[in-house]
Amino acid sequence: MVEGILAFLESLGMLGLFSVMFLEGSSMPFPGVALVIAYGGLLNHSLAATALLSAGLAAAYSVASLIPYFLGNKLQTFFQKKFDKGLKKASILFHRYGIWSIAISRPFGIGNYISYLAGMSRIPIGKYGALTFIGIYPWCFAMLRIGHYFNGNYDAFKSFVAANQISMYGYIVVLLGAIGIWLYMKTRSQNNKFNA
């Protein structure tokens, strides 16, 4: 079955991968994690190429996330009734972490609700887009690299996580931290050069 899915995805090429991220960003119920991991197994990219591809995927996701953002903005009452439980959880996160909850929540299921809530709260679109990109970029990178490591086999990855009693999101948190430290160090060294 895995081989059949991989063959189908390979036939779609990069368009399929970008479509997966667009659908994921639009908050449609979609198995994005499994498919991005599958694509990670198909691509034989260096870390630098994966980083560049992840930026493109994060951009596709961010553009698609404007759909729930604008729906939340225009249809506030409707979504408050329809997604009451999910929006309450998102609201707690939103009040605790402010607009940074947009970035923090992206790798998790609650990120879809945050899109609606950000629209309802009328967060400026530039900030919303930037925070969405910041939040989803590490997820894209991590899923592609995990897919590369597990040859695109999502079931093998799930078995590994279960056998080692590790949360999939634990990997993402560690990766986010590593990328955050790297960005901080890079920005700091650039500031030191600029100030010198």
Can you tell me the mean pLDDT for 133-155? 86
- Look up residue 109 and give its DSSP letter: T
What contacts 181, CB < 8 A, 6 or more positions away? none
Per-residue pLDDT, 55: 94
Contact (CB, 8 A) for 136 and 32: no
**Can you tell me the distance from the alpha carbon of 191 to that of 103, in angstroms, rounded to the nearest whole number?**
24
* Residue bearing the bigger pLDDT, 5 or 127: 127
**Can you tell me the distance from the alpha carbon of 195 to that of 91, in angstroms, rounded to the nearest whole number?**
41
Global pTM exceeds 0.75: no
Tell me how far the alpha carbon of residue 163 is from its chain's centroid. Answer: 25
Per-residue pLDDT, 156: 81
pLDDT tens digits for range 34-78: 888 888 888 877 888 889 999 999 999 999 999 999 988 887 766
Q: What percent of the chain has pLDDT over 90?
A: 17
pLDDT tens digits for range 171-191: 556 556 666 666 666 666 665
Per-residue pLDDT, 4: 63
